[in-house]
Structure 1
Amino acid sequence: MFNYPYEGSYCHAILDSVKRGLAKARHDIDVIHLDQDQFKPVMTADDLLAFRNKKSIDSHAIEYIQRIKEADHLVFIFPIWWELMPALMKGFIDKVIFPGETYDYTSSGYGMVTLMDNLISTTVITTMNTPAIMYRLTYGNAIKKSLIKGTLKKSGIKNVKWLSLNMVKASSSEKRGKWLEKIERRFTSIK
């Protein structure tokens, strides 16, 4: 899942590194590019009724759910703006991590189980300009709390890793290059 509108961005360079690594490991690559797809992130009244009925009605979401159910690994790549994910990525979470489609509730109603047992791993890669310690202590580590723990792990997805690249604007081109190399190597080793 990729969300960044500007093709010359560092997030696009990260996407290219991930793709190179996965290609070296001989993985098939299927990129869901929310910006290019013109994904509509807003939950309508009909979407909310579909949520209650556990059957998605959004055509993009239905397609994305099917594609995810055919995947071995998920990779999310997006920037952190104002300490949170962009609207398209949040809408993706709302419309695709969906009851009856990608997870369901336990019989008690207090827990969740994944309907995506096909997934071996999920990696979240984010960029931000906030220092890591400030993001964690001042802003409460919002992505870890809301996306990693409160959505992915809560809905039963296992083996979730987060790679946070901080202070991107202030980092040197050499450092950004090393990050890209490390990301490529990481995805070359995925089985």
Structure 2
Amino acid sequence: MRVAIVFNHPYEGSFGNAILNAITKGLNGANHEVDLMHLDKDGFNPVMSKADLKAFVEHKPIDPQVIDYNERLKKADHLIFVFPIWWDLMPAMTKGFIDRVLAPGVVYDHHPRGFGLVPLLKNMKSVTIITTMNKPKIMYSLLIGNLIRKAMLRSVFKTMGYKNLKWISFNRIKVVSQKKRVKWLNDLEKQFSRFK
């Protein structure tokens, strides 16, 4: 199985990078093919320019990097996002990936009857979003309203018609013990070593 990972964190010593290593190790151990789109290392530009928007509307991407990401998504059986939650939402590069790469004509199309969207990534079995944040989960849920679930799972992928959507959230990152972090990483590696 081919698994595309969209990773966004500029600091190599982050817990996000440890998560990336754990899930990659698990997937590789199960002989899955991992296709990493490291937005920071790739120097991905999240800004939708006037030319990009015109190309988006015409369903003809012009940015070579966007075209490359599009082609790689078409080959993926599963899509994983890994990023930190900053100010209750995703970082700019992740948002830019959603805006510029998850494009009509590639990832989805408009329903021929004029209402709703139709998924176009025929190989895509599921989408998993893995996040880190410093807030307690209950605070993010009750006070903020689980914005990642609303924005990415419901508003983006569910609207496009994709199913098997999952969000894994690691909370209070700055204050949890090293022992707990190690357990989280070991559990992730095991989970993705059983990935189907």
Q: TM-score range by the shorter chain?
A: over 0.9
Task: Decide which of 32, 57, 61 is 1:56's aligned counterpart.
Answer: 61
Could you tell me which runs of 5 or more consecutive residues in structure 2 were left unpaired when the two chains were aligned. Answer: 1-5
**Are 2:89 and 1:84 equivalent residues in the alignment?**
yes
Q: Provide the C-alpha distance between the structure 2 equivalents of 1:65 and 1:100, rounded to a whole number of angstroms.
A: 10
Q: Provide the C-alpha distance between the structure 2 equivalents of 1:133 and 1:53, rounded to a whole number of angstroms.
A: 42
Task: Answer whether contact 1:55 1:99 (CA < 8 A) is retained.
Answer: no
**Are 2:72 and 1:96 equivalent residues in the alignment?**
no
Q: Letter of the 2:34 partner, please give it.
A: I
Q: Provide the C-alpha distance between the structure 1 equivalents of 2:139 and 2:114, rounded to a whole number of angstroms.
A: 36
Q: Alignment partner of 1:30: what SS?
A: strand
Aligned length: 191
Q: Provide the C-alpha distance between the structure 2 equivalents of 1:84 and 1:126, rounded to a whole number of angstroms.
A: 10
Superposed CA RMSD:
0.9
**Are 2:196 and 1:186 equivalent residues in the alignment?**
no
Q: Provide the C-alpha distance between the structure 1 equivalents of 2:145 and 2:73, rounded to a whole number of angstroms.
A: 29
Tell me the percent identity. 51
Q: Alignment partner of 1:31: what SS?
A: strand
Q: Provide the C-alpha distance between the structure 2 equivalents of 1:109 and 1:124, rounded to a whole number of angstroms.
A: 29
**Are 2:153 and 1:148 equivalent residues in the alignment?**
yes
Superposition deviation, residue 110 in structure 1: 2.1
1:26 corresponds in structure 2 to: 31
Task: Decide which of 114, 123, 140 is 2:119's aligned counterpart.
Answer: 114
**Are 2:71 and 1:71 equivalent residues in the alignment?**
no
Task: Answer whether contact 1:70 1:118 (CA < 8 A) is retained.
Answer: yes
Instruction: Name which of structure 1's ranges 86-95 and 44-53 shifts more when overlaid on structure 2.
Output: 44-53
1:37 corresponds in structure 2 to: 42
Could you tell me which runs of 5 or more consecutive residues in structure 1 were left unpaired when the two chains were aligned. Answer: none
Task: Decide which of 118, 135, 139 is 1:130's aligned counterpart.
Answer: 135
